[in-house]
Structure 1
């Protein structure tokens, strides 16, 4: 590395490391939309929900005491629809606790492995250069490893990004 007098940033490496570090900590940013998409209602579910809502509205207009037979008949139809909805929801694979847990930790594992691979790939690429005017004297080896003095390494930058992301 050649000596320079002013600061510079390696923008692509800086952005990649920051984004992957942040996503490795806050993987729910990806998990929530995926689970929402996987658990979206089917046409059959929407139709059953509409039927249930119509029956509930009709039932609310009746007096339970005066028209008990009609009220209980509507309640039985609502119960049948509830069972069908539970059956449909139970058939979805994403409702399994094991699937949800596996997906949650799988996403975290993917980002952790990606961060490790990027650390290996960019190990000799400095993220930024602080200039000759700034001295990192007691921590130079820790911040710069394996680069020259006053260069911030990928390792250190990723570690700082993960720490800040956890604090947020």
Structure 2
């Protein structure tokens, strides 16, 4: 029923469509590389853990002053960690949004340029005649009963999003 005319273009556009579907899921690991806790945050966290361990060795009833002093230090360091964490999270959100926009724009430009560049190349040929739709399916190609790159990208995008939705959700 189908005859593949240009297998390279068929695979090329399918890969582009797959990347397009997975862009939101590629953003998270890429952004994680840019928003890791700093050495200062790690040092503060290690100090908080050390102070909590030290605090557990002190009896609250017998040495209230020393216990309270350590608790104030812990509270101060945890407050600083919270501020640093909030600023890192806001930067992370900005980075994720920027990366997602950049990836989507790059993929859209590559897809648009490719579709325009290969607009007259048919991807597959149908052995049967789909009379009312043949002109629409093959436009702007001249080959009868063929599917052009425009239609192939549209069909691939919709079908891949539908097929991969249960897997990625």
| TM-score relative to the length of structure 1 | 0.75
Structure with higher RCO (Cα < 8 A, 6+ apart): 1
Stretch moving more, 72-81 or 58-67: 58-67
Q: Deviations over 1:80-107 (max 9, x none)?
A: 3234435545665961755543333232
CA contact (8 A) 1:26 1:165 kept: no
Aligned twin of 1:44: 40
Match of 1:150 in 2: 145
Question: What corresponds to 1:137 in structure 2?
Answer: 131
Greater mean deviation of Cα atoms: 62-71 or 144-153: 62-71
Residue 28 in structure 1 maps to residue 39 in structure 2: no
Tell me if the contact between 1:38 and 1:94 (Cα under 8 Å) persists in the aligned partners: no
Q: Distance in 2 between matches of 1:102 and 1:56?
A: 39
Contact preservation (8 Å) 1:25, 1:108 = no
The gaps in structure 1 that reach 5 residues or longer are none
Q: In the TM superposition, what whole-angstrom CA distance separates every residue of 1:19-40 from its partner, at most 9, and x where no partner exists?
A: 2223224312321112100012
Corresponding residue for residue 159 of structure 2: 164
How many residue pairs match? The answer is: 162
SS in structure 2 at match of 1:123: coil
Q: TM-score, normalised by structure 2?
A: 0.74
Secondary structure of the residue aligned to 1:124 is coil
CA RMSD of superposed structures (Å): 3.0
CA distance in 2, matches of 1:88, 1:98: 16
The separation in 2 between residues aligned to 1:108 and 1:91, in whole angstroms, is: 26
Q: Secondary structure at the match of 2:152?
A: helix
The answer to which structure has the higher helix fraction is: 2
Residues 112-167 of structure 1 deviation map (CA, whole Å, 9 limit, x = unaligned): 1221111111111222233x3x3322211222112212322111111112212433
CA shift at 1:17, angstroms?
A: 1.0
- Counterpart Cα distance in 1 of 2:61 and 2:153: 68
Contact 1:129 1:151 in 2 (8 A): yes
Change (3 A) 1:15 1:48: farther
